[in-house]
Structure 1
Amino acid sequence: MKFATLICSFFCCLHLTFAQQPAYKDAKQPIAKRVTDLLSRMTLDEKVAQLQTMHAGRPKLDDKLFNNTPKLDSLFKNGMGMMNPAFDETMEVTIAARNRLQDYMVHKTRLGIPIIFIDEAHHGLVQREVDVFPHGIGLACSWDPALLEKIYTHAAKQARVRGTSLVLAPVVDVCRDPRWGRTGETLGEDPYLCGMLGSAIVRGFQGSTNGTIAVDHVAATLKHFSGHGQSEGGDNQAPANYSLRVIREAHMEPFRLCIKNANPAGIMASYNEIDGIPSHANKWLLKEVLRKEWNYNGVVVSDWFGIDQLWNKHFIATDQKNAALKAFNAGVTTDLPYGVNYRYLGALVKENKISTKALDSEVAKILELKFRLGLFDEQQPIDLEKARQNAGGTEGHALALKIAEESMVLLKNANNLLPLKKDQYKKIAVIGPMAATNYLGDYSGLPSKNISLLEGLKNKVQGTAEILYAKGCRITTNGDTISQNNYQYIDTIIFPSAAENAQLIDEAVKTAQQADVVVLAIGENEQLSRETWGPNHFGDMPDLRLQGQQEDLVKAIVATGKPVVVYLSHGRPLAIPSIAQQVTAIVDGWFMGEEAGNAFANILFGDVSPSGKLTITYPRSTGQVPVYYNHKPSAQYFDYVTEEKSPLFPFGYGLSYTTFNYSKPRVILANASPKKTGGTSMEPSDKVYGTVEVDVTNAGNIKADEIVQLYIHQKVSSVTRPVKELKDFVRITLDPGQTKKVSFTIDASKLAFWNADMQYVVEDGIFECLVGRSSADIQKVELKVGHDLLSK
């Protein structure tokens, strides 16, 4: 009897234990219920802590901190929302620190709420021993959403296996001023292309189309909302005081498309102001549009020190507490990177300046994200060996090579110099400041392998030709040698003397004279094309010409009479009209990632036909800026006194080693016989108006890819419209002699715009559907439509 009583008591206690388990710890419960339960248990200080962040390097997460229990408790006893990365650590140090901190959060804090570890991952994880892919502007030149999704799936896995659960990427800013140092981070000048490629990147990061964050994936954060890419004077963080229509149609559109097509977990507010209101304090931007109009339910993170700037740069707040109030009321969920402003949220609640309901709403967003990421249910620490296995393996190298091959743009190929035949040239001179060092661009990790042009060409010829090398000139004297640190972090820039470069040019000429053909690698390094963030760390440029006597180098090499192939490595389009006229061939490689040298070698010798297309316009001079293809009819109307206003190389432009012939495009109306084509009007109620078809034929003798582009222009409308706007594109592969029919659906989303009354509509009128190989090489067919008001 006594035994039976003991057994009964045991099971009663066991039942009571399970019954008392909080709902938020029960993985079987819906996330909404877990969030509600957890919120109900939190103190005000614990709630505020979830909206704060810290930096992993200040204070450093090392033995000194973890062995100092009072200090550790003072920092983390109430929990913490997110932890920003330290960029100077090894993988081993980072993982050890993250494991110790997460263990503290889960087992030593009252409620055991895990922390989110943040990393940058613009074109690969910004850590050591990772795969580094082409810079954003280079990736975009592939026009290949499917490949980008694979690449960012790979990047997500490299991040998650190290404990990262949220990344501050992708950058979907529309760039309309290449003087801006962050041009290379963007996907180009077109809102539709930025939106569609950005959506693919988000899907890769998160592993879904609906916002679900799959296993081995991470939460993505769109940057920077909004107008950051057309700052005054190309000056980082400067105002973007453009009309509401420009902000809507150009700068906000990529974000809307990404939210619609991929539902990113996070949005980052931008540094700039719009109409006098900084984005971090802009209720219209973050609440009216983002929350109410677009129904976005994710988190809004500040840019680093973005809330601080409300009081120390924009001067619309008196101090940190007032800045916190303005940012919180505007809709910023969390404060990066130190959370110093949001430490005042508790006091603001007690003063009735922020309601408990409003605070709970933002805290719930952070908690929901943590549940969606599975952080509450993960029991195992980060596995260092597993992380090592995923660091820079063959899969990443293959993806990096593929995307580099697809992204390089052939800008010129006079007399069909390219591709070179391996047995044609016995001596190849590789000259220039970008030849022996492969620059990776701003926000780059450190790859386990990094192939320069010089190394790639040596690998390729393998004794069939002799490779000669000369430096040619220096761009900067402290940014062109191999280092364990990225060049982007070298603050002070030291320029070489003209005399030093003159000597290097003389040596390069002697090298070129010995060769049969010259590969001239020029451009800009990371010190000249990066984010400006401090008084000693600049990256914006007033001059888009080549720096460091590179133009003198080109003239001297061309004067030798040797065929010259220019390879451009850079982060922004450069003004190179004289170079484009002088040299025989030009390949644009931007900052092309860890496999740049091998990819270029494959293109140079014809193993791969170039297929990349520009996603940003090349100006003829700095004075021509801003210059972009989707300008208004009255822009670029008259030439300058000394220069024509047409671009040096237009948006969407890129040559191939074969010839693609396009048929005349045709319109097939929706619900009509396929034989009925042309400019016939349609019913106003139709949402899908029809399709535009074109036949594309590979008229050459090699297999190659072509990027077919669709542009739209309404001939007459209630407000001025761009002369053309990209509305669709497709990458196709054609064998020699093969023809493919390409079809583009014309629906309301491709025709709608903000009319004179700021309503998003499709107006009556005639639309030109323009199809071709670039924005400047297109054929048109007309389409008449009736009126159709769209919901916002």
Structure 2
Amino acid sequence: MSRKLLSVGLLAVCLQGQAQLDKEVKMNQYITILMQKMTLEEKIGQLNLPSVGFDVTGPILSQGVEEKIKKGLVGGVFNTYTPAAVRKLQELAVNETRLKIPLLFGYDVIHGHRTIFPIPLGLSATWDPALVQRTARAAGDEAAADGLNWVYSPMVDIARDPRWGRVSEGAGEDPYLGSQLATAYVKGYQGNDFILDNTVLACVKHFALYGAGEAGRDYNTVDMSRLRMYNEYLPPYKAAIDAGVATVMTSFNEIDGVPATANKWLLQDLLRKQWKFNGLIVTDYTGIPEMSAHGMGDAKKVGELALNAGNEMDMVGEVFLKYGAELVKSGKVDQAVIDAACRNVLEAKYKLGLFDDPYRYVNEARNKTAIMNEAKLALSKEAAIKSMVLLKNANNTLPLQAGKKIAFIGPLVQDQRNLIGNWSGAGDWKKAVSIWSALEQKYGAGKFLYAKGANLIDDPALRKRLNDHDGQITLDEKSPEQLITDAVQTAQQADVVVAVLGEAFGMTGEAASRSMIGLPDNQLELLKALKKTGKPIVLVLMNGRPLTLQWENDNVEAILETWFGGTQAGTAIAEVLFGEANPSGKLSMTFPRNVGQVPIYYNHKNTGRPFDENQKYTSKYLDIPNSPLYPFGHGLSYTTFSYGEIKLSKPTITNADKLQVTVRVENTGNFDGVETVQLYIRDLVGSITRPVKELKRFEKVSLKKGEGKDVTFTLSVDDLKFYNTDLKFVAEPGDFKVFVGTSSEQVKEVAFSLK
């Protein structure tokens, strides 16, 4: 590069930096002047985030909220959307308050807003950060067009226990993959400029360690060492912070014996000081008053703890509103704490441009063109296709041949509601495309056989528990026995049976932990009856977590994991089943053989007596293998891929070197396909014990049949670093292994060393 070009580049960077500095100075001046006009009560009001319920006619104001808004005692509103509904509340804040401070409008936009994409666990199975970023951008665009400017996503909690229902909302068990996707979500939601009316504030959650609850039970206790926190659970949160996420939500669990919402070490020492986060911190839903049940004191006391820990918006609890002023006047909370919290709320509003135009997100015309448009529906189908994981495909049973007689059997064949899954928010399940309707649209009515075969759930206690919370589970008029009889008779007429089974959407998500994670008993009974017909069976799964599928794996020819695939799931599934699209998803979370293996994850550590089938006194079970049913990174294709030997640029590197890792990947099958090439390392000797494998790179490679490609990864000393006992991020000289392959278990390996 010439000196002239270099000088121009440096000048541009300097000018950009100066412009940003000027913006911050202007913002600080504006907010300082505004805060000088505010009373203590008005400042505390900015910290109040009530939920305003919603129905088809507009917002239903909770008790007293309208008056609180008029008095300037509400900083934002949770659960209100659509331009008309948002305008109604924003007008109260802007026209009828003393200082005319606009409101924030937040909502749980988890995997799409109106257009629903696969659940996040499904999206993580794409191993495609660019695609995930596009889905977040589309969701943010729709949310903004619907009056919202703050979304409570992404959830980046590392989870290794599939009993926990909220695994459906995250990216699985791996910190590296989780970090890549956390970054993608943040960039997608927030874009490059908040002043644009189609960008929204993202909120990384749940800070922190929420996915490690004991026994897989939601809201449960978490207890782990700082070493495990820093090396295994904190990286995705840190990645979101580094990506510039605007807000952070605290978690329900305790950390070191102190609930996260009152944990000063977590929110001040780690988040603010170590990670330099300067955005807004919000609690989870009633997170502050719930600390009383933890044993932290009465409502006033937990309010004091939450404020002094650094929480800045109280979601729904209204503890700050009730006790904040009293706590300041009594000296329990310093005025500076309230001022700092209020400033961060006001800064968020300023960055969104709400002080210039409180109605910038209220645009009826954009609402009509941005929501569920052709491009977003196409993206929903693309994401659904790429999220599917082919778990098994014996005898090349898939793809199906349209000329054969095929029976589609199961309670989810014609279902629409469950396609969009849990946390589908403002999504309309009636607009979801079922598998059956997609088949009829593509092949015409009467082309395939159909039988329901079973209810989604027969267990009356479970059905009632789910339906008490809008589970929408109904019973067929026919008895369970008659449904199975009909299904068997239908299957006997077919060449191939496609059984579409899985969980109800309410069986995963928040407050949806399960102690047993197999298919519901009645569905398994149906599958066993179909097996007796002797027909080849393709099992299509819809679910929100890894399932125990040992019998299914041993007894059916093919298994396709489709998760809850979203608005266009039916069309996507039909295209994959018939080979118009080739599945390329890879598991981001291990599937156990049974719940006795849980927690199970690929990046475990060895014991002093590691597994050895031929030795009694080693770490293993008596009744099953140690290995999972399907490992992390597993996912088949309709084609096959072969891997050559790994080539290293050098056998030894120093801190200043880069290591090139190259492998030849070839498509050796009969279909074009996409393979996700995965690279893992192992530090053989460390000052603390190290995992048997750690994912460090991956690359998706599209290969036509017969085509090959050299895939090269570049590693640096940073990829070899970990947090030691002093919580220093270091790389220690010594011997390493590098693994490259198609999953965490199917890899080739070579050795190298760090001097």
Could you tell me the TM-score, scaled by structure 2's length? 0.90
**The 10-residue stretch of structure 1 (610-619 or 71-80) with the greater mean CA deviation from structure 2:** 71-80
SS at structure 2 position matched to 1:159: helix
Q: Residues 373-415 of structure 1: CA distance to partner in whole angstroms, max 9, x if unpaired?
A: 1111126461234313322221111001001111100011101
Give the deviation of 1:216 after TM superposition: 0.7
User: Of the candidates 71, 81, 84, which is equivalent to residue 77 of structure 1?
Assistant: 71
The residue number in structure 2 matching 1:31 is 27
The residue number in structure 2 matching 1:9 is none
User: Of the candidates 491, 500, 511, which is equivalent to residue 521 of structure 1?
Assistant: 500
The residue number in structure 1 matching 2:587 is 614
The residue number in structure 2 matching 1:383 is 363
Q: How does 1:163-562 map to 2 (within 5 A)?
A: 163-208=147-192, 214-260=196-242, 262-311=243-292, 313-317=293-297, 319-378=298-357, 380=359, 382-423=362-403, 425=404, 427-438=405-416, 439=418, 440-445=420-425, 446-447=427-428, 449-462=431-444, 465-476=447-458, 490=469, 500-532=479-511, 539-562=512-535
CA contact (8 A) 2:52 2:61 kept: no
* In 2: Cα distance, 1:465 partner to 1:480 partner: 36
- Alignment RMSD (CA, Å): 2.7
SS at structure 1 position matched to 2:296: coil
The residue number in structure 1 matching 2:49 is 53
* In 1: Cα distance, 2:249 partner to 2:259 partner: 13
Give the deviation of 1:109 after TM superposition: 1.4
The residue number in structure 2 matching 1:752 is 721
The residue number in structure 2 matching 1:703 is 672
The residue number in structure 2 matching 1:768 is 737
* In 2: Cα distance, 1:434 partner to 1:480 partner: 18
SS at structure 1 position matched to 2:135: helix
Give the deviation of 1:75 after TM superposition: 4.3
SS at structure 1 position matched to 2:579: coil
Give the deviation of 1:459 after TM superposition: 2.6
Give the deviation of 1:698 after TM superposition: 1.8
User: Of the candidates 71, 87, 100, which is equivalent to residue 112 of structure 1?
Assistant: 100
CA contact (8 A) 1:477 1:496 kept: no
CA contact (8 A) 1:307 1:341 kept: no
Kindly provide the amino acid, as one letter, of the partner of residue 118 in structure 1: G
Kindly provide the amino acid, as one letter, of the partner of residue 100 in structure 2: G
Identity within the alignment, %: 39
* In 2: Cα distance, 1:542 partner to 1:55 partner: 32
Alpha-carbon distance change, 451 to 390 in structure 1, aligned in 2, over 3 angstroms: same
Alpha-carbon distance change, 174 to 380 in structure 1, aligned in 2, over 3 angstroms: closer
* In 2: Cα distance, 1:263 partner to 1:667 partner: 35
Q: Does 1:689 align with 2:683?
A: no
User: Of the candidates 35, 39, 45, which is equivalent to residue 43 of structure 1?
Assistant: 39
SS at structure 2 position matched to 1:607: coil
* In 1: Cα distance, 2:674 partner to 2:163 partner: 31
Alpha-carbon distance change, 247 to 213 in structure 1, aligned in 2, over 3 angstroms: farther
SS at structure 2 position matched to 1:55: coil
Give the deviation of 1:322 after TM superposition: 1.0
Kindly provide the amino acid, as one letter, of the partner of residue 432 in structure 2: N
Alpha-carbon distance change, 214 to 95 in structure 1, aligned in 2, over 3 angstroms: closer
The residue number in structure 2 matching 1:10 is none
Give the deviation of 1:765 after TM superposition: 1.2
Kindly provide the amino acid, as one letter, of the partner of residue 235 in structure 2: E
Q: Does 1:145 align with 2:158?
A: no
- Structure 1: give runs of 5+ residues left out of the alignment: 1-25, 482-486, 533-538, 669-676, 787-792
SS at structure 2 position matched to 1:152: helix
* In 2: Cα distance, 1:760 partner to 1:259 partner: 18
SS at structure 1 position matched to 2:165: coil
* In 1: Cα distance, 2:229 partner to 2:23 partner: 42
The residue number in structure 2 matching 1:100 is 88
Q: Residues 47-84 of structure 1: CA distance to partner in whole angstroms, max 9, x if unpaired?
A: 11111111112999979979x9x984444312521101
* In 2: Cα distance, 1:568 partner to 1:74 partner: 48
Alpha-carbon distance change, 587 to 493 in structure 1, aligned in 2, over 3 angstroms: same
* In 2: Cα distance, 1:71 partner to 1:730 partner: 50
* In 1: Cα distance, 2:455 partner to 2:37 partner: 65
User: Of the candidates 530, 538, 541, which is equivalent to residue 568 of structure 1?
Assistant: 541
* In 2: Cα distance, 1:613 partner to 1:365 partner: 40
CA contact (8 A) 2:681 2:739 kept: yes
Alpha-carbon distance change, 390 to 479 in structure 1, aligned in 2, over 3 angstroms: farther
Kindly provide the amino acid, as one letter, of the partner of residue 80 in structure 1: V
**The 10-residue stretch of structure 1 (517-526 or 449-458) with the greater mean CA deviation from structure 2:** 449-458
Alpha-carbon distance change, 417 to 522 in structure 1, aligned in 2, over 3 angstroms: same
Kindly provide the amino acid, as one letter, of the partner of residue 245 in structure 1: L
Kindly provide the amino acid, as one letter, of the partner of residue 278 in structure 1: P
User: Of the candidates 667, 673, 686, which is equivalent to residue 717 of structure 1?
Assistant: 686
CA contact (8 A) 2:587 2:635 kept: yes
* In 2: Cα distance, 1:142 partner to 1:196 partner: 12
**The 10-residue stretch of structure 1 (153-162 or 632-641) with the greater mean CA deviation from structure 2:** 632-641
Kindly provide the amino acid, as one letter, of the partner of residue 199 in structure 2: H
* In 1: Cα distance, 2:55 partner to 2:663 partner: 60
Give the deviation of 1:475 after TM superposition: 1.4
CA contact (8 A) 2:69 2:97 kept: no
- Structure 2: give runs of 5+ residues left out of the alignment: 1-21, 612-617
SS at structure 1 position matched to 2:592: coil
Give the deviation of 1:707 after TM superposition: 0.7
CA contact (8 A) 2:158 2:171 kept: yes
Alpha-carbon distance change, 274 to 28 in structure 1, aligned in 2, over 3 angstroms: closer
Give the deviation of 1:762 after TM superposition: 0.7
**The 10-residue stretch of structure 1 (751-760 or 761-770) with the greater mean CA deviation from structure 2:** 751-760
Q: Residues 515-573 of structure 1: CA distance to partner in whole angstroms, max 9, x if unpaired?
A: 121110111112222311xxxxxx11111121132221111101101111000111111
Q: Residues 319-368 of structure 1: CA distance to partner in whole angstroms, max 9, x if unpaired?
A: 22211110111111110024234432222111222222222111111111
Q: Residues 435-465 of structure 1: CA distance to partner in whole angstroms, max 9, x if unpaired?
A: 2214122211323621122222223333693
Q: Residues 87-127 of structure 1: CA distance to partner in whole angstroms, max 9, x if unpaired?
A: xxxx6xx43231022122122212211100001110012xx
* In 1: Cα distance, 2:393 partner to 2:148 partner: 44
The residue number in structure 2 matching 1:649 is 630
Give the deviation of 1:254 after TM superposition: 0.7
* In 1: Cα distance, 2:357 partner to 2:745 partner: 53
CA contact (8 A) 1:476 1:493 kept: no
CA contact (8 A) 1:401 1:599 kept: yes
Q: Does 1:135 align with 2:116?
A: no
CA contact (8 A) 2:52 2:59 kept: no
CA contact (8 A) 2:189 2:200 kept: yes
CA contact (8 A) 1:488 1:530 kept: no
* In 2: Cα distance, 1:266 partner to 1:645 partner: 41
